[in-house]
Amino acid sequence: MAVSVGGGVDRLADLVRDADSVVALTGAGISVPSGIPDFRSPGTGLWENVDPMEVAHIDAWRADPQRFWHFYGDRFQSLRDKEPNAAHAALAELERRGVLTGVVTQNIDMLHRRAGTQNLVEVHGTIEHSSCLDCGDQYPLDVVRLRLAQSADGFPACDCGRPLKPDVVLFGEWLPEGALERAYGMAAGADVLLCIGTSLEVQPIAQLPGITQQTGGEVAIVTQGPTPWDDRCAVKLDGDVEAELTALVAAL
């Protein structure tokens, strides 16, 4: 039965304390306090008058890398100065204490890594590097940004001359198989899947709570707004994500 009233953090702390393996699944909501809007949500102002489903599509990158990077470069820029927040820090602390097995994230913003999370699965990739799909060379973000800024063509190029593609999963692309397998394995092995800042509506990540439950684990949710799992989870907290996770760390 879902619990969303006072005492929810204590209930969550009990669940976590009784678990041998706790895995966090995080979405855009955990990075909102860092000033990163959920770019899938309308009205966030990031790409006004532009449909990210169209621009951030693999076909758009193939057809017109200059236009792709014109918009995507702005996204890189907007993420550049963002810092991990207390929610990212709480998960890193729980991992350090041996409470948390790892984090599966839909986010591409590097903030879990920068907060200190070690066992991290980035199912939608990361802006941390970009790759050449022709020769396979990979370049770190700083190099990509420099090449974009200095490029006469309007896109960062590989040494071989071909345009680079950020190592994020664009619309129209498959999720990386290795990352998905790791995510499924972690969900199957979890006594508690702690879903944070995710609507649990984007496939295939939306399958993870079901995998945890089928293998005998519990689903806990710390997310503002409804999810399809609200009536099937052990606990649902819908307060501020930083406050809820900070309280969880304090309660353990």
160 annotated to a ligand binding site: yes
Residue 53 Cα distances to 39, 44, 230, angstroms: 10, 14, 28
- 135: contact with Zn ion by CB under 5 A: yes
Number of residues that bind Zn ion (CB under 5 A): 7
Closest approach of Cβ 155 to Zn ion, in Å? 13
Considering the rule CB under 5 A, would residue 157 count as an interface residue with Zn ion?
no
Q: Residue 146, interface with Zn ion (CB under 5 A)?
A: no
- Amino acid identity at 76: F
Site for Zn ion in 170-209 (CB under 5 A): none
Phi-psi region of 125 (alpha: psi -120 to 50; beta: other; left: phi over 0): left
Helix 241-251 to helix 86-96 angle (10° resolution) is 30
* C-beta closer to Zn ion: residue 134 or 201: 134
Tell me whether residue 124 is one of the annotated catalytic residues. Answer: yes
Rounded CA-CA distance 137/132 in Å is 5
Q: Is 132 in the site for Zn ion (CB under 5 A)?
A: yes
> Partners of 163 in the beta sheet?
157
Residue 236 contacts residue 251 (beta carbons within 8 Å): no
Q: Binding string, 87-126, against Zn ion, x = CB under 5 A?
A: ----------------------------------------
Is residue 158 a contact residue for Zn ion (CB under 5 A)?
yes
| Pairing status of strand 125-131 against strand 100-105 | unpaired
Q: State the catalytic residue, choosing from 88, 112, 124, 129.
A: 124
Annotated binding site for Zn(2+): 132, 135, 158, 160
Residues annotated catalytic, as ranges: 124
Give me the residues that bind Zn ion (CB under 5 A), please.
132, 134-135, 137, 158, 160, 162
